[in-house]
Amino acid sequence: MTDKPQSIHGQFFNVPNQLTTARLVLSCVVFVLIPFHYYWSAMLVFLVAASTDWVDGYWARRYGQVTKLGRVFDPFVDKFIICGAFILLVAEPGSGIQAWMAVLVVGREMLVTSLRSFIEQSGGDFSAQMAGKLKMVFQCIAVVASLLVLTFTPHDPPAWLSVALIVAVWLAMLSTVYSGIGYVLAAAKHFR
DSSP 127: P
Give exposure, 154-167, as e/b (b: 16+ Cβ within 10 Å).
eeebeeeebebbee
Domains identified in the chain, total number: 1
- pLDDT tens-place values along the chain, 192 residues long: 444 444 555 566 788 888 899 999 999 999 999 999 999 999 999 999 999 888 877 777 777 777 777 778 888 999 999 999 999 999 999 999 999 999 999 999 999 988 888 887 777 766 667 888 899 999 999 999 999 999 998 899 999 999 999 999 999 999 999 999 988 888 888 777
In order of 26, 37, 91, 106, 150, the CA distances from 97 in angstroms are: 21, 16, 9, 13, 11
Decide if 81 contacts 23 (C-beta within 8 A).
Answer: yes
> From the CB of residue 83, how many other CB atoms can be counted at a distance below 10 Å?
19
Report the CATH number at residue 56: 1.20.120.1760
Domain residues for the domain of 68 are: 3-191
